[in-house]
């Protein structure tokens, strides 16, 4: 939902997967295991280059699942992440922390709502262990998005969720909402991309919402937001009628869209401002 910068090192250059991998395995106690891990570092780098190329052209669905990397098992590759990057004090923890700090205000780039509290493997590490510590594959995420995504991976173009480092879907408006008439009023969210988008791109927008169960998350947040602004809207309607309510919503919307046009709150305000029923008092809870 939100494009964020790729992870960079102290020289402001994108991390090299091989370097990160070698840092993480450098303190592996078993000499034999460390030797086997270091022996596949070139394969890790080659796979990372292929990953970045495919991600930049929305072709990660072409990646082939695997169980091992050379003489290293998938479980051993995953352990490089869980044992040498995640734990505090581990050799790769500084890189982990640097990636976690990328999103502005720690806002999850997958949903735009939650607070980042973990790193999610865009290509699941259980199915693609070669990318267990590849920075481009590690996405700062909130608990909701990580749980809903889990080990999801699609082998089709349109089945891919959006990649926060590579997919900029915010040049056009595509997240929309409808006002649901009722007491209290509610909002229904869905994707409605412009017609000039390709079929796979349109499908990806829908997939992202569906797979992460974002419409329900957005609807819940919209209900909370409406509770917060209901009194203000009621005062405006008493003073200036539906026109005053609509003008206020549109003024707020301009500021919200300047920050992010495809946020749930932007979609909510667009829908509310367009609804005669809502502006004429449908927002009341009685």
Asked if pLDDT for residue 11 goes beyond 90, the answer is no
Q: Of 263, 265, 251, which Cα lies nearest the Cα of 223?
A: 265
Element (H, E) at 244: helix 214-259
- Taking each continuous run of H as one helix and of E as one strand, the counts in the chain are 10, 6
3-state secondary structure of 118: strand
CA distances from 58 to 54, 94, 144 (A): 6, 29, 24
Share of the chain above pLDDT 90, in %: 97
Instruction: For the chain, give every domain's residue range.
Output: 17-149, 175-282
The residues near 277 (Cβ < 8 Å, ≥ 6 apart) are 179, 181
Q: Per-residue pLDDT averaged across 86-104, rounded?
A: 96
Q: Per-residue pLDDT averaged across 111-119, rounded?
A: 96
Sign, CA torsion 67/68/74/80: negative
Residue 241 and residue 246: Cα distance in Å, rounded?
Answer: 9
What are the tens digits of pLDDT across the range 129-181? 999 999 999 999 999 999 999 999 999 999 999 999 999 999 999 999 999 99
Q: Of 214, 224, 220, which Cα lies nearest the Cα of 262?
A: 214
Asked if pLDDT for residue 285 goes beyond 80, the answer is no
Is there a contact between 135 and 158 (Cβ–Cβ < 8 Å)?
no
Report whether the peptide linkage leading into residue 211 is cis, meaning its omega lies within 30 degrees of zero: no
What are the tens digits of pLDDT across the range 199-225? 999 999 999 999 999 999 999 999 999
β-partners of residue 14 are: 8
Residue 273 and residue 253: Cα distance in Å, rounded?
Answer: 9
Tokens representing residue 190 in the block: 């869905």
Tokens representing residue 215 in the block: 């419409």
Is there a contact between 194 and 33 (Cβ–Cβ < 8 Å)?
no
Residue 271 and residue 279: Cα distance in Å, rounded?
Answer: 10
């Amino acid at each position: 939902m939100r494009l964020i910068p790729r992870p960079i090192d102290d020289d402001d250059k994108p991390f090299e997967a091989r370097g990160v991998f070698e840092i993480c395995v450098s303190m592996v106690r078993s000499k034999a295991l460390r030797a086997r891990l270091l022996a596949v570092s070139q394969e890790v780098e080659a796979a990372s280059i292929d990953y970045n190329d495919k991600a930049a052209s929305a072709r990660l669905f072409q990646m082939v699942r695997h169980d091992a990397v050379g003489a290293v098992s998938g479980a051993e590759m995953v352990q490089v992440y869980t044992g040498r990057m995640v734990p505090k004090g581990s050799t790769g923890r500084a890189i982990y922390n640097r990636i976690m700090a990328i999103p502005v205000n720690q806002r999850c780039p997958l949903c735009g709502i939650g607070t980042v509290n973990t790193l999610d493997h865009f290509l699941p590490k259980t199915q693609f262990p070669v990318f267990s510590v590849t920075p481009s594959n590690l996405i700062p995420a909130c608990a909701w998005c990580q749980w809903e995504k889990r080990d999801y991976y699609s082998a089709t173009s349109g089945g891919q969720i959006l990649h926060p480092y590579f997919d900029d879907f915010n040049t056009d408006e595509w997240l929309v909402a409808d006002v649901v008439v009722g007491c209290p009023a509610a909002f229904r969210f869905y994707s409605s991309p412009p017609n000039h988008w390709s079929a796979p791109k349109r499908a990806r927008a829908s997939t992202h919402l569906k797979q992460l169960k974002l419409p329900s998350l957005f609807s819940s947040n919209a209900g909370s937001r409406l509770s917060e602004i209901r009194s203000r809207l009621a005062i405006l309607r008493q003073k200036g009628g539906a026109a005053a309510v609509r003008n206020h919503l549109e003024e707020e919307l301009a500021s919200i869209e300047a920050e992010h046009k495809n946020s749930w709150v932007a979609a909510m305000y667009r829908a509310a401002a367009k609804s005669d029923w809502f502006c004429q008092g449908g927002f009341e809870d009685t």
